[in-house]
A = this chain, B = another copy of it.
Amino acid sequence: MFYHDKQLQYKVRVDKPNPVFARMLQQAIGGIEGEIRVCLQYLFQAWGSRGPVKYRDMLLETGTEEMAHIEMLATAVALNLEGAPVSMKDEFAKDSVVGAVMGGMDARHILSAGMAAMASDANGVPFNGSWIVGTGNIAANMIANVHAESSGRVLATRLWEMTDDSGMKDFLAFLIARDTMHQNQWLAVVEELGGMKGAFPIPNSFPQSQEVQDFSYAFVSTNIAGDSQAMGRWSQGPSIDGKGEFKLVKAEPLGGEPQLSPPDPRGHAQTEEMMGNIGGIIEKVKDALS
């Protein structure tokens, strides 16, 4: 269960409110790279954890911390919205700066939320629960978490570049630091689980003898024209998981043409479909008649 302290985890200061920046910060709240996603992702992974309890505990810790990150970002949005234009009245035509601000901000920050953060991204697209990944496989989960923190840190550095508000820069520098830690943290679990050679291929509990092994370490090239430069570490040499040797093969069809049964009449395909290649017949008749 959970407790709170009314104070924030880190200082959130806005020197000069900017409603367009408020909108951009929404990406870090309700976007796919955002904090609602990581918070719920880590907590759901913890709540479903069936392996060693240390991982459950760790996920609970960091999921709980992320809750505080949503809180700080929501506060940053509210502060950036202070003084935003709430009327287009006559000044809109006259003053293009007001227009630009109003054009660039999220109108729903005014209309729906009354100058507060929402659970949506920078385009007002709502947070979506499908983004919360918990596979029941700890290694797959850790990679999902490294991914979330990587795209999250890329976003945070871009927000940092976007503004020169020193309060916002300092706050984002804190989030960037936490993303550094969390990338390392999830990678540390992968290392504990055996690292590149032990944890992969994920899941490592499936017997590779059951794979169609000719294709387990083959880079398949679909290029049919000119030189491809798609060669690299992945097209020759030992595989990263240490269990095979990379090779290069040209794409080729091994499966033949698929053959589906004709439609069930009760599915009400068009009559012509159910009469075989009637289309061709009709065409020929027409040709003959014309």
Q: How far is the CA of A50 from the CA of B82 in the complex (A)?
A: 11
**Are A54 and B130 neighbours in the complex by a CB distance under 8 Å?**
no
**Are B107 and A135 neighbours in the complex by a CB distance under 8 Å?**
no
Stoichiometry, copies per complex: 6
CB distance from A2 to the nearest CB of B (A): 4
Which A-B residue pairs are the 4 nearest by beta carbons?
A114-B136, A48-B116, A8-B255, A51-B273
Q: How far is the CA of A90 from the CA of B38 in the complex (A)?
A: 32
Q: Of B79, B96, B106, B192, which is within 8 A of A233 by CB?
A: B192
**Are B5 and A75 neighbours in the complex by a CB distance under 8 Å?**
no
**Are B154 and A193 neighbours in the complex by a CB distance under 8 Å?**
no
Q: How far is the CA of A68 from the CA of B97 in the complex (A)?
A: 37
**Are A267 and B128 neighbours in the complex by a CB distance under 8 Å?**
no
**Residues of the B chain whose Cβ atoms lie less than 8 Å from the Cβ of A68:** 1-2, 251
CB distance from A241 to the nearest CB of B (A): 6
Since A60-B223, A113-B134, A176-B210 are in contact, a sample of 5 more A-B pairs with Cβ atoms closer than 8 Å, ordered by chain A residue number, is A103-B104, A126-B130, A127-B129, A140-B150, A184-B244
**Residues of the B chain whose Cβ atoms lie less than 8 Å from the Cβ of A266:** 86-87, 158, 161
